[in-house]
Amino acid sequence: MMKIKIAHLYYDLLNLYGEQGNVLALQDAFKKQGVDIAVDLLTVGDKMDFDKYDLLYMGSGTKNNLLIALEDFKKHTVTFKKAIKNNKYFISTGNSHEIFGKFIEVDNEKYKALGIFNYYTKQNQIRIVGDSIMEFKDLEPIIGFQNRSSVMQNNKNHLFNVINGYADNYKSSYEGYLENNFIGTYLIGPLLIRNPHLTDYIVKDILENKNITYKLIDNTFEYKAYDEYFKNFYNQ
């Protein structure tokens, strides 16, 4: 049986708001396709051979934990760049995608980041908290929650168009970062639990790239929960 391998990076440091739920959503979606799934939990000091994995995931963390992950990830910058160039799926939720930009500015301090992408993040005077609804490709609207003090600057590779809610900054109508199959977003919730159609989009793409037929599965509890949210949101 074909096995899909996922690496959950810094699972012990970057797991605010129960963001490990994104990995659980992926596991469940692959299992429904009849595909064997393996998840490796990787953290500081572990060997990270990105070529072994079909998908990499990193969640949200406190400022201190994010900086610890940043320092450790510096050892893997070259291989990470290669993985992104080769269209490896990488999903980064919450503030974790900040470490791949030029720098992070928080609490009046500036920290040099990995410099893999051209964006950078600065602390906002007003904390951004609340639900957001986004547009992504031709999928159903993407829903999520934001709770952050940072705003992204110099981002030219946008992930989402904002339908309702918060953008990268107050001059933007976009949120998140997309380059090849790197997906970085401040949306939490967890994102893939709340948006089963996005989860299935990613699963379908990975399977088809391995010449595995994707089976359409809808009307699950996840889809029903998604529909219920929308009904309640617009009746508020």
User: What is the share, in percent, of the chain residues with pLDDT greater than 90?
Assistant: 81
User: How confident is residue 136, by pLDDT bands cut at 50, 70 and 90?
Assistant: very high
**CATH number of domain containing 14:** 3.40.50.880
User: How confident is residue 216, by pLDDT bands cut at 50, 70 and 90?
Assistant: confident
SS3 at position 167: coil
What average pLDDT does this structure show over 136-155?
93
- Phi, psi angles (nearest 5°) of residue 60: -90, 155
Q: What pLDDT, on the 0 to 100 scale, is given for residue 234?
A: 61
As a whole number of Å, the end-to-end CA separation of the chain is 47
* pLDDT over 80 at 169, yes or no: no
Residue with tokens 């990193």: 58
User: How confident is residue 1, by pLDDT bands cut at 50, 70 and 90?
Assistant: low
The tally of domains found in the chain comes to 1
**For residues 45 and 24, what is the distance between their CA atoms, to the nearest angstrom?**
24
SS3 at position 202: helix
Q: What pLDDT, on the 0 to 100 scale, is given for residue 126?
A: 84
Nearest to 229 by CA among 164, 169, 183: 164
Q: Could you report the per-residue pLDDT of 10-46, keeping only the tens digit for each?
A: 999 999 988 999 999 999 999 999 999 999 999 999 9
SS3 at position 137: coil
* pLDDT over 60 at 236, yes or no: no
What is the number of H-type helices and E-type strands within the chain?
6, 11
Q: What pLDDT, on the 0 to 100 scale, is given for residue 125?
A: 81
Tell me the pTM. 0.94
Q: Could you report the per-residue pLDDT of 91-120, keeping only the tens digit for each?
A: 999 999 999 999 999 888 999 999 999 999
Q: What pLDDT, on the 0 to 100 scale, is given for residue 107?
A: 86
User: What is the share, in percent, of the chain residues with pLDDT greater than 70?
Assistant: 98
Q: What pLDDT, on the 0 to 100 scale, is given for residue 217?
A: 82
What average pLDDT does this structure show over 191-216?
95
The boundaries of the domain holding residue 16 are 3-233
